[in-house]
Structure 1
Amino acid sequence: MSRVRVQTGDFDLGAEMARLRAGNAKVGAVVSFVGTVRDLNEGAAVAGMELEHYPGMTEQSIEAIVEQAMRRWPLFDALVVHRVGPLKPQEQIVLVLTTAAHRGEAFAACEYIIDYLKTEAPFWKKEQTPQGARWVDARVTDETALAKWAQA
């Protein structure tokens, strides 16, 4: 099973989690992060969002992030599913799953992966607001979250 999928369709958290841990009785922790579309960003109502990417390059970039996490923590496995295309508020955007023997490693690796996804993966987000469409830049808080991993 591939550790990275970029797709237009939705994903099923329960099914993805079951697949990732299937057959490995050593898994003591499964950590998940699901990102969703909010209806408000930077004070403006958001009616929808469109995510664009470069096929092939995006998957390679995310795979490199996952591999870094796999080397840094004693994980059994990890999975990233990221959606692209038009999305509405409350829809799922991204899934990050990590499995390990213990929760500390699984939590840290999951947080590491999503922090790097938010800043390093080649996605472009355009929001639809009452004032019109606008491109979304990385937030300062995303860069701050990423910086902590360089120190750790």
Structure 2
Amino acid sequence: MNKQEQLITNFRDLFDKMGWLNKSKMEDILKGYKPSEVHCIESIEKNVDANVTKLAKCLYMTRGAISKLTKKLIDKGLIETYQKPDNKKEVYFRLSYQGKVIYNTHEELHKEFQERDNVIFEQVTEEQFSSILNFIEKYSQHLDAEIKKQDITIK
């Protein structure tokens, strides 16, 4: 296996381990909510004037999938829609009180997992962090260019 293959395999393994380790606690505390619902809630909270198109782009899903997902979240009372006075055409989403409870619970779990893993991050030097972050940014930009080149659009 060459270094490129090893790196990709190690990234995949790392994310799989994190998911496996965090999964049971997430499922237990956020019982009744699918990961896609929780991530949509998170995206709505973190994006000003979140609409179907904006959510589709940041969650790498189709607009149709986002429409179905947001309808479920509305039906569960986790999000609500609103429109701006100057634009009655566009529909935006915001969290309801219960949606904010789910968001805050999810954030607290992430903080707990981050604290658990601080033991390793405390050993990483600034230079190592910079190098890793630089690589990830370059790779992300490359993938963005490939997506654009292939004209992959959110439908």
- Do Structure 1 and Structure 2 share a fold, with TM-score over 0.5? no
Larger Rg: 2
More strand by share: 1
TM-score between the two structures when normalised by the length of structure 1: 0.24
TM-score between the two structures when normalised by the length of structure 2: 0.24
Greater RCO, 1 or 2 (C-alpha within 8 Å, sep 6+) = 1
